[in-house]
Every structure is written in structure tokens, then in C-alpha cells.
Amino acid sequence: MGKPRCAVCSGIMHGVDHRMDTRSSRRPERPYGGCICHRCLDKGVREAVRRWALKVWSS
């Protein structure tokens, strides 16, 4: 287990440590939490919401 790295930009995730991981271990609304940094995660969530919105609006 090395340092936690972002799966998108490969940057080291400074905001994640063992204490934070145990306290907020799981967040269901964020599927890639813990593997992607907040910046990339926010971008991914935005794209997912956009696709969902387009799907709903186009129906």
C-alpha cells in the first residue's frame, strides 16, 4: 500500500490519510471516492449529472 494516488491525474492525494479514511470510510454517492482526487471526482460527478440530465430532458 503506497501513497494514495488519483486514478485520473495520477496526483498524490494529500487530503487522504488513515484517520480520515476510517472516519469517513464510505460515501455511496461518490463511487470512486478514495481513488480519485477531489478535483477529478468533482469533474466526473458533473459529467455524470450532465449525462443524466440530458437523458431525462430528452425523453
Residues in contact with Zn ion by CB under 5 A are: 6, 8-9, 37, 40
Compare residues 20 and 53 and give the one whose CB is closer to Zn ion: 20
Compare residues 14 and 23 and give the one whose CB is closer to Zn ion: 14
Instruction: Give me the count of residues in the chain.
Output: 59
Identify whether the C-beta of residue 36 lies closer than 8 Å to the C-beta of residue 8. Answer: yes
Q: How far is the CB of 50 from Zn ion (least distance, A)?
A: 19
d(CA 29, CA 27): 6
Compare residues 10 and 57 and give the one whose CB is closer to Zn ion: 10
Identify whether the C-beta of residue 40 lies closer than 8 Å to the C-beta of residue 6. Answer: yes
Q: How far is the CB of 17 from Zn ion (least distance, A)?
A: 17
